[in-house]
Amino acid sequence: MQWETVIGLEIHAQLATNSKIFSAASTAYGAAPNTQACAVDLGLPGTLPVLNEQAVRHALMFGLAVGADIAPYSVFARKNYFYPDLPKGYQISQFDLPIVGLGKLDINVDGVTKTIGVTRAHLEEDAGKSLHEDYHGMTGVDLNRAGTPLLEIVSEPDMRSAAEAVAYVKMVHTLVQYLGICDGNMQEGSFRCDVNVSIRPMGQEAYGTRAEIKNLNSFRFIEKAIAHEVERQIDVIESGQSVVQETRLYDADKDETRSMRSKEEANDYRYFPDPDLLPVEISSALLEQMRDKLPELPAAKKQRFQQQYGLSDYDAEVLTAQRALADYYEDSVSRVANEEKLVANWVMGDLSAGLNREGLDITDCPVSAERLAGLVLRISDQTISGKIAKRVFELMWGSIDSADTIIDREGLKQISDSGELEKMIDQLMADNMSQVEQFREGKTKVMGFFVGQLMKQTQGKANPQELNKLLQAKLKK
Amino acid sequence: MYNQSLKQLSTGLRNKAFSSVELSHYFLQRIKRFDGDLNSVITLNEEAALQSAAQADKSISMGEAGLLTGIPLLHKDIFCTEGLRTSCGSKMLDNFIAPYNATAVEKLAQAGAVMLGKTNMDEFAMGSSNETSFYGGVKNPWNLQTVPGGSSGGSAAAVAARLAPLASGTDTGGSIRQPAAFCGITGIKPTYGRVSRYGMIAFASSLDQGGAMAKSAEDAAIMLQSMSGFDEKDSTSVDRPVDDLLAHLDRPIKGLTIGLPKEFFSDDLDAGIAEKIEQAIDAIKSAGATIKEISLPNINLSVPAYYVVAPAECSANLSRFDGVRFGYRCEEPKDLEDLYKRSRGEGFGDEVKRRIMIGAYVLSAGYYDAYYKKAQQVRRLIQQDFARAFKDVDIIASATAPSVAFAAGEKKDDPVSMYLSDIFTIGVNLAGLPGMSVPCGFVDDKPVGLQLIGNYFEEARLLNVAHQYQQLTDWHLRVPAGYEQE
């Protein structure tokens, strides 16, 4: 039997606000436990939530970016359940009237563009953290995260493979960072997702029973968890059983998913409108004002990079995956004429490799866009060769010096003066007459010997084009 | 001294006839002398009160006194008070000391009022007789065999016995007005959103509203003036200037139209009470007001709608009392579920548990539409009834409660009959309107309350009518026997 995979996603993006969604406590990550939980976050009696306007604006930005219907009137609801890291015994979320309605997002897999529906996006508060280790059989509760604003982004079940799901998650990940509404940090849990997976016989219209895999926090885990879950479901069905609707947990160490709770054990959350908060009303004037302030979105930027800079689909994709990287590229490329591809190669090559090696973000790059442009300019005007440029770049990485300063100081300027090169070639040919003979007998491979010797003599500084031209001429004589 | 008006007391303080320390001491002594029987005050704040009284005396000497500077008062134990236990009448919070003041408490403290202590109440404000308190029932000073009403029964009994000139209260379905009526004092619940709910422990958030309990409309006006106003910490508080309540008191009420809802004057109303209400209406009429019969056709649905909405909200509001972070925790919990079940099972009383269960039921999957949603629709109908009525009348009047104070224990095991004692007051909460109760006579030597209901934010008009009525009558000056000694 041929099976088709059906995937829908729920992404939780932590919104980049200074304070929490319903209190003035800080949202900064990594503070000592329970030092960033105020009376409201602790759910002390009599305290009340007050909505953070910034969180609403962030949600609106996302809605506008995916072309969604923005609800002129949305409502916060209480989702009731007991857990020690949920101080009030209910989570303030949105239920039947979310702030962002139906929208869509294009993804690209193997050159094919596909549109994925965004069902809705709603605002809610995060819970705290339960810490099960180090407490001698007891559980510690850290409420610093309680009340952190989240945007839950729910997709339609429009994805048909793990690759499509990952492409969608990456697209949302890129988008929220572009919009500046989420830092996208998956290690710190700022961006995490739940995946709904089901399978059905190819060609069947009705969906199969789905399983939800909770809390995946890396692209690789998403891919592996889906692959594993699809196999599991096929095994279940092909062995004559049926898939049960349940929540499963992905264990990255064992690379498997296991059951957390079934539908029967699921909570009745008893949602109802939170009477402590007024409905959120969004005027069309505010929406227009925000629409004008939307930054250029990834898809548009990618297209522009291809047109404006003549970059390939691949290069444009890589360079626009992060807004800061795209900004870096544009800053750099604007400072050197006609070297769009060369700048792209440097940004995607040595620069990205350096950042990866040291685990740095582009915003913390030790070589500024201006300094990189200075380097590319010297390659462009043939002051140095591409090979020497790599040495210069390494020296730039560990200093604040410009490419020019380093080239001067290290004497790395390319030897393009034909008189000087000719002298060296003449001497070399005189010293190696047998190789000259071989060349003239047709063994053109010995060309490499001469180039190598001359590069050695000049410590790589000979202009390779010039050197080749002169050598060819002299050897052929 | 105990029966002096707030203005008289304030003048006495300014003229140095007595100091705030002396005045506070005087009322503290009255509490010690009389409250043994009444059980209206559950926490005394003696030392801190005398300190703030001394502070008030300094302000008075420096000529910086307002009307409330140095005036002693009591707070219902539902208002969080920094450093002083806030129990909400429950074992659950018997050990709870808030690290903040409720906004209403803070505002009154800023105005110079001296907090003598905290008053008894029905547990989590759930009750109409003050019999559900963890600290025991409160007795009605007019007749110790009867209840003071609830849930602000402690505040009402304390003011009636003149243990303090003023007390705060909260009103979710009649919890200021009904005890005010039973104890023969004046109580006002303002428009929803007028007094901040911050720091006021929530029972039913969309209905709860803090207010003032005092001997007279004038005293209540002074207190409410100080409690009211927008608070950015409460999203449901309304950003709108507060009227000068005192300035409106002396306006003539000639030409006002008073509406009498026919549904509130049916045969169900006790004949003795009906007579007192008619006499009160006649007095208001004699001051030049016009009387008009009106109809609130859906008002009979208010009790059932209330007993869906209020428990639903309370079932979520009371989830935070889980034994994890504060409040009561059971001994030696076996595991998490045991911790929850026993902490809540042992920490809450029966009435609270009953309402949590009703609330969880009406919100559960499959029942939401039939109960909660339907109740909200009824609520809108009731709001519309009032809106229509206020096109024709300025004030609506009725009895506050269908009976006078009933005997302790009489309705304790009959929740439905207990719930019906709020039949005239609940609609006001569902609509979010301001309402008050004013003493208007006695039946069987027990006080009767006249309920006055105003349109949104018309507290000034309401207090104006009540004050004018109190110029014509002296019911509000009566003191229960045994409490007249200085």
- Half-sphere exposure of B314 toward its Cβ, with a 13 Å CA cutoff? 25
Give every CB contact of residue B325 below 8 A, 6+ residues apart in sequence.
A42, A43, A87
Per-residue pLDDT tens digits for A195-239: 999 999 999 999 999 999 988 889 999 999 999 999 999 999 999
Neighbours of B484 (CB within 10 A): 11
Contact B80 A45 (CB under 8 A): yes
Is 90 exceeded by the pLDDT of residue A432? no
Report the range of poorest mean pLDDT among A71-75, A384-388, A463-467. Answer: A463-467
Interatomic CA distance for residues B194 and B187, integer angstroms: 15
Question: Do A105 and A183 fall within a single domain?
Answer: yes
Q: Model confidence at A414, in pLDDT bands (50, 70, 90)?
A: confident
Greatest pairwise CA separation for chain B in angstroms? 70
Phi, psi (deg, nearest 5) at residue B334? -75, -45
Can B76 be counted among the known catalytic residues? Answer: yes
What does the pLDDT read at residue A184?
92
**DSSP-derived secondary structure letter, B324:** S
Is 80 exceeded by the pLDDT of residue A34? yes
Is 80 exceeded by the pLDDT of residue A433? yes
CATH number of the domain to which B291 belongs: 3.90.1300.10
Amino acid identity, residue B7?
Answer: K
Which two tokens mark B112?
A: 């110079």
Question: Do A401 and A424 fall within a single domain?
Answer: no
Q: What is the mean pLDDT of residues B357-365?
A: 95
Question: Do A436 and A383 fall within a single domain?
Answer: no
* CA A309 to centroid of chain Cα atoms: 22
For chain A, the domain total comes to 3
Which two tokens mark A162?
A: 């793990």
Contact residues, chain B, for A89 at CB < 8 Å: 316, 318-320, 322
Q: Give B17 to chain A, closest Cα distance, Å.
A: 39
Decide if A47 touches B, using CB distance below 8 A: yes
3-state class of B259 per DSSP? strand
| Radius of gyration for chain B, computed over Cα atoms and rounded to the nearest angstrom | 21
Contact residues, chain B, for A275 at CB < 8 Å: 204-206, 236, 313
Contact B98 A46 (CB under 8 A): yes
Please name every residue paired with A196 in a beta bridge, in sequence order, or none if there are none.
A8, A212
Nearest by CB to A276, which of B102, B236, B322? B236
Q: What is the mean pLDDT of residues A239-262?
A: 87
Give every CB contact of residue B282 below 8 A, 6+ residues apart in sequence.
none
What does the pLDDT read at residue B19?
98
3-state secondary structure chain A: CCEEEEEEEEEEEECCCCECCCCCCECCCCCCCCCCCCCCCCCCCCCCCCCCHHHHHHHHHHHHHCCCCECCEECEEEEECCCCCCCCCEEEEECCCCCECCEEEEEEECCEEEEEEEEEEEEEECCCEEECCCCCCCCEEECCCCCCEEEEEEECCCECCHHHHHHHHHHHHHHHHHCCCCCCCCCCCCEEEEEEEEEEECCCCCCCCCEEEEEECCHHHHHHHHHHHHHHHHHHHHCCCCCCCEEEEEECCCCEEEEEEEHHHCCCCCCEECCCCCCEECCHHHHHHHHHHCCCCHHHHHHHHHHHHCCCHHHHHHHHCCHHHHHHHHHHHCCCCCCHHHHHHHHHHHHHHHHHHHCCCHHHCCCCHHHHHHHHHHHHCCCCCHHHHHHHHHHHHCCCCCHHHHHHHHCCCCECCHHHHHHHHHHHHHHCHHHHHHHHCCCHHHHHHHHHHHHHHCCCCECHHHHHHHHHHHHHC
Interatomic CA distance for residues B377 and B362, integer angstroms: 14
Q: What is the mean pLDDT of residues A252-273?
A: 84
Q: Model confidence at A446, in pLDDT bands (50, 70, 90)?
A: confident
Amino acid identity, residue A24?
Answer: A
Per-residue pLDDT tens digits for B276-285: 999 999 999 9
For chain B, the domain total comes to 1
Is 80 exceeded by the pLDDT of residue A262? no
Contact A275 B205 (CB under 8 A): yes
Q: What is the mean pLDDT of residues A331-346?
A: 94
Question: Does the structure's ipTM exceed the value 0.90?
Answer: yes
What does the pLDDT read at residue B321?
98
pLDDT, averaged across chain B: 97
Q: Model confidence at A60, in pLDDT bands (50, 70, 90)?
A: very high
Neighbours of A134 (CB within 10 A): 7
What does the pLDDT read at residue B338?
97
Per-residue pLDDT tens digits for B385-441: 999 999 999 999 999 999 999 999 998 888 888 888 889 999 999 999 999 999 999
Interatomic CA distance for residues A300 and A320, integer angstroms: 10
3-state class of B238 per DSSP? coil
Contact residues, chain A, for B360 at CB < 8 Å: 80, 270
Q: What is the mean pLDDT of residues A453-470?
A: 83
CATH number of the domain to which A465 belongs: 1.10.10.410
Contact B319 A89 (CB under 8 A): yes
**Preceding amide of B151 cis, omega within 30:** yes
Answer yes or no: are the C-beta atoms of B407 and B145 closer than 8 Å. yes
Question: Do A168 and A280 fall within a single domain?
Answer: yes
Q: What is the mean pLDDT of residues A20-39?
A: 94
Interatomic CA distance for residues B261 and B389, integer angstroms: 9
Is 80 exceeded by the pLDDT of residue A264? no
Contact B80 A276 (CB under 8 A): no
Question: Do A301 and A282 fall within a single domain?
Answer: no
Answer yes or no: are the C-beta atoms of A340 and A359 closer than 8 Å. no
Which two tokens mark B477?
A: 């000056």
Contact residues, chain B, for A47 at CB < 8 Å: 198-199
Domain of residue A358, residue span: 296-410
Question: Do A82 and A201 fall within a single domain?
Answer: yes
Question: Do A472 and A434 fall within a single domain?
Answer: yes
Contact A89 B336 (CB under 8 A): no
Interatomic CA distance for residues B33 and B15, integer angstroms: 28
Contact residues, chain A, for B198 at CB < 8 Å: 46-48
What does the pLDDT read at residue A474?
83
More confident residue, A416 or B478: B478
Neighbours of B289 (CB within 10 A): 24
Q: Model confidence at B162, in pLDDT bands (50, 70, 90)?
A: very high
Question: Do A180 and A42 fall within a single domain?
Answer: yes
Amino acid identity, residue A474?
Answer: K
Which two tokens mark B205?
A: 């958030």
| Chain B CA closest to residue A38 | B99
Question: Do A388 and A450 fall within a single domain?
Answer: no
Tell which residue, A191, A196, A148, has the closest CA to residue A172. Answer: A191
Is 90 exceeded by the pLDDT of residue B46? yes
Interatomic CA distance for residues B362 and B372, integer angstroms: 6
Task: Kindly list the strands in the beta sheet with A76-80, ordered across the sheet, starting from the edge strand earlier in the chain.
Answer: A90-94, A76-80, A272-273
3-state class of B269 per DSSP? coil
| Chain B CA closest to residue A80 | B316
Contact B202 A271 (CB under 8 A): no
Decide if B364 touches A, using CB distance below 8 A: yes
What does the pLDDT read at residue A468?
85
Q: What is the mean pLDDT of residues B337-351?
A: 97
What does the pLDDT read at residue A29?
87
Q: Model confidence at B81, in pLDDT bands (50, 70, 90)?
A: very high
Task: List the single best residue of B75, B80, B322, B369 to mutate versus A (max A Cβ within 10 A).
Answer: B322
Interatomic CA distance for residues B252 and B246, integer angstroms: 14
Decide if B244 touches A, using CB distance below 8 A: no
Contact B236 A51 (CB under 8 A): no
Question: Do A364 and A384 fall within a single domain?
Answer: yes
Interatomic CA distance for residues A191 and A151, integer angstroms: 10
Contact B324 A84 (CB under 8 A): yes
Task: List the single best residue of A272, A277, A280, A281 to mutate versus B (max B Cβ within 10 A).
Answer: A272
Q: What is the mean pLDDT of residues A93-104?
A: 97
CA distances in angstroms from A293 to A182, A296, A337, listed in the order given: 17, 9, 30
Decide if A272 touches B, using CB distance below 8 A: yes
Q: A350-355, long-range: CB within 8 Å, 24+ apart, which pairs?
A: A350/A390, A350/A393, A351/A393, A354/A397
Per-residue pLDDT tens digits for B266-304: 877 889 999 999 999 999 999 999 999 999 999 999 999
Q: Give B234 to chain A, closest Cα distance, Å.
A: 6
What does the pLDDT read at residue A384?
87
Point out the catalytic residue in the list B10, B20, B129, B151.
Answer: B151
Q: Model confidence at B179, in pLDDT bands (50, 70, 90)?
A: very high
Domain of residue B283, residue span: 1-486
Interatomic CA distance for residues A338 and A333, integer angstroms: 8
